[in-house]
A and B are shown apart, each in its own frame.
Chain A
Amino acid sequence: MTLVRVSYATSDARTPALTAVVVAVAAVVGFRLVDVLVEGDGRVGAFALVWSTTIAAGAAVWRCACATCWAADPSCRGRGFAGAVWRSLRRGRPPQRWD
């Protein structure tokens, strides 16, 4: 949530939104698989595992996007993750961390 707020402060609203869509689709697919494959008390545990894993993966991608975009080039504000990665590649240097 902190990254969401920071994201909006830098006018990059697309990264969290698109990440959330991907996470939601992955979670729903995972839930459906668990529903078919797992029974008993472990079923609710498997749902929890799917949920936490998809959110964790989304947050990791997101953090990478934030670090890449905002620290590597403050002028990339509002242009999103893809633009920052492209400019980093073009300059021949890896994205920098911002904290």
Chain B
Amino acid sequence: MIPGRLRPGGPQVAPTVPSSPNAEAARFSVLVAASRATGFVRMLAGFAVLGTSTQLGNVVQSANLVPTLLFELLAAGALGAVFIPMLVDEERRFAGVAGEFRSRLAGTVLVYLGGALALVVVVALAARSGLSDYLLGNVAPGDRRQAQLLSTYLLWWFLPQVFAYLANAVAVALLNARGRFWAGAVCPLVNNVVVSVSLGALALLRAGDVSLPLSDGEKLLIGGGFTAGVVAMAAVPLWDAVGHAAPIGRPLPPRSDELGRLARAAWWAVLFLAPAQVPMLAILPLTNSVDGHTQVWILTWQILLLPHALLASPIYTTRPPPCRRPINVDAEAFGELAGSSVRSVLTTGALSGVLLAALSPQVAQAVSIGAAADSTGAVAAAVAGLRSGSRPTRCG
């Protein structure tokens, strides 16, 4: 525990956390809606421009997923489940030194997680050819060579994105702990706009051609454009954090009890989020074996998540701070608050399941556009498969 002066009277509510989670959730929903709407446009643009009749779409989508999976596998659990709750908890318990604590915790996360990620990125960059072999090893031999060359090139651009994800996550956590949610809700919008513009420029250059190989300029447009989007996404909360969150402080010493406590608390969170990424890592080589199927898989997953993202994620993003307040004081109040959150999320899950079941043929027809016009059957099959578990998925 970082030394500090305990607030008089025991646990108290931090004044910086909004008093009405419902109002905050409503404001958050509006911002998330804008981000998700642009995210859907981006996904459709990728589907239509990269197409489903060659390996182009599969290669770009699977290479672009690698840094996200690495980050989720290694760092996201520790950040999401430990970092934010600890920030809120410490701010509630201590007076005067909460700012110092936030600074040191942020510095600790950046230095130690950043160091671990740097090591992983260096190894992954050195092994990028092997990574491409793993992702695309099941592709038909005639197409495999060009697909692997493009994937290896794109991984140069995409793998370092994990550092932007880390900076983004720390800044958003610091802001959320202060009750500021807008930057975290809006930053995906910036990423979506930059990537959509890059895809639009690629469409102009390629004029509907989705064959491999790409020219150097076209590869640069994809690698540079997608990475620029992620960097811009991280810049939004960083900019807001400069004015409204504590500065980055000195990290905790490597052998300190505090660091050990953080690591122990993070362990189960990492064990929770890491297995969630394993099925995605396992399925990419399988979907890549058929032209366009990785594109279809990712697009339909996003379609399934859309209602959930619009309606449920504002609830579970804005509820945790209040959820943590009563547990130390009143178990019944905690049960009431947590139960109402679960019921809200289940309701949105039921709604999205019903909508998806009713509209799946129309959805498949609507998204199969441009160079992906012949993918209606695959999209309809994937939507039908996903909708079967859509209700409980919201719960998890």
Please give the residue numbers on chain A whose beta carbons come within 8 Å of chain B beta carbons, in ascending order.
1-6, 8-10, 13-14, 16-18, 20-21, 23-25, 27-28, 31, 34-35, 41-60, 62-63, 70-71, 74, 98-99
Contact = CB atoms under 8 A, between A and B. Distances in A.
A55 B381 contact: no
Contact of B386 (A41, A52, A63): A52
B192 to A, nearest CB: 21
Contacts of A41: 377-378, 381
A31 B334 CA distance: 39
Interface of B: 81-82, 85, 265, 268-269, 271-276, 278-279, 282-283, 286-287, 290, 293, 296-297, 300, 304, 312-313, 315-316, 319-320, 323-324, 327, 331, 334-335, 338-343, 345, 377-378, 380-393, 395-396
B276 A24 contact: yes
B253 to A, nearest CB: 25
Given A28-B279, A44-B297, A47-B287, A3 B319 contact: no
A9 B278 contact: no
Contacts of A42: 381
B271 A20 contact: yes
Contacts of B276: 20, 23-24
Contact of A52 (B323, B327, B387): B387
A28 B383 CA distance: 20
A20 B342 contact: no
A53 B279 contact: no
B224 to A, nearest CB: 30
A48 B385 CA distance: 5
Nearest to B343: A99
